[in-house]
Chains A and B, each alone.
Chain A
Amino acid sequence: MEQLKKYNTAFVETVGVSEDQLPGLVYQATSGWDSVGHMQLMTQLEDAFGIALEMEDILEFSGYEKGMDILRKYGVEI
């Protein structure tokens, strides 16, 4: 539950949407999740979970749910 809270907080603070808008959210579906917002989201997730994402995963991080799958590769279970 704590992990989900950190994950959601990163989205809310960088992409600028409310938590109830997160399910199904995909990259560039909202003006806040543009390329700059994506960079901010990635670095905030790295800080929150103490990981360093690979470029390939940053580019494949295309949505809220997809991101959970990607973080699992880094040992982060949400």
Chain B
Amino acid sequence: MNAPFSALYTFKNFTDLTEQESDEVLRGRNDPEVRRWMASDRAISADDHGRFMSGLRGNPHMVYMRIERAGRFAGVYSLNDLAASSGLGGFWVTADTRERLLALNVVFQGMDYMFRGLGIERIYGRQKQDNLSAIRLNALLGLVPSESNTASVGGMQQIEITKQHWLQSTAQDAKLLKLMNRMEALNGTT
């Protein structure tokens, strides 16, 4: 079964981006409205961006996907420390995506692509225990505290989700799908 609305979304590995697409990623990432939501609000220089993009080629431990919705750049989903089909998830969405209330949808699509498109078996992450926004978003997406690592270090808690849980629970969650469906319908196909 395809993810809901998946026809609207396209994915492209950073290693395959055109120069124009790569520049758009850099501009989006450096938008102050995007940086304010990130762990580091430092702007990335064009040189650093170029080095980062080059470093991804041939690196089996990192994958960065550029996500478009209806032909418009919407955000990035990434996996780092990738090993044995398990990786540290991360994402950011464009200011436009956030303004259009599509952040949840874009992150959902990014994770769905990782599981169904790339065959990833497990995504894990960390959340600050006082970050209500992150906790709620992660919970909606089925990311739950790790059974194998329940200790909180420095107020950070490890969370994870398996492909099986994604397919059998998150991607079938009627309430979540209804929420995302409503936002897709409101935004239309532009």
A1-55 interface (Cβ within 8 A of B): 16, 31-32, 34-40, 42-43, 46, 54-55
Q: Which of A16, A35, A46, A54 has a CB less than 8 Å from the CB of B101? A: A35
Q: Name, among B98, B131, B136, B140, the residue most crowded by chain A CB atoms within 10 Å (CB to CB).
A: B136
**Nearest-CB residue, chain B, relative to A14:** B136
A: interface residue count bin: 10 to 19
Knowing A36-B103, A39-B183, A58-B186, the reply to whether A31 touches B132 (Cβ < 8 A) is yes
Q: Is the CB of B101 within 8 A of A38?
A: yes
Inter-subunit contact A34/B133 (CB<8 Å)? yes
B29-56 with Cβ < 8 A to chain A? none
Asked if A36 meets B132 with Cβ closer than 8 Å, knowing A43-B178, A58-B186, the reply is: no
A16–B98 Cα gap in the complex (Å)? 20
Identify which of residues 95-145 in chain B touch chain A, using a CB-to-CB cut-off of 8 Å: 98-99, 101, 103-104, 131-133, 136-137, 140
With the chains together, A39 CA to B136 CA distance in Å? 12
Report the number of A-B residue pairs with Cβ-Cβ less than 8 Å: 39
Residues of B near A32 (CB, < 8 A) are: 132-133, 136
* Distance in angstroms between the alpha carbons of A54 and B98 in the assembled complex: 17
Q: Does B187 contact A (CB under 8 A)?
A: yes
CA distance in complex: A36, B135 (Å): 11
**A58–B136 CB distance below 8 A:** no
Min CB gap A13→B, angstroms: 12
Q: Is the CB of A36 within 8 A of B104?
A: yes
Q: Which of B132, B140, B187 contacts A16 (CB 8 A)?
A: B132
B179 contacts A by Cβ under 8 Å: yes
Q: Given A34-B133, A36-B104, A36-B133, are A55 and B187 also a contact pair (CB < 8 Å)?
A: yes
A-B contact pairs, 18 of them (CB 8 A): A31-B131, A32-B133, A32-B136, A35-B98, A35-B101, A36-B103, A36-B133, A36-B136, A37-B133, A39-B179, A39-B182, A42-B182, A43-B178, A43-B182, A46-B182, A55-B186, A59-B99, A59-B101
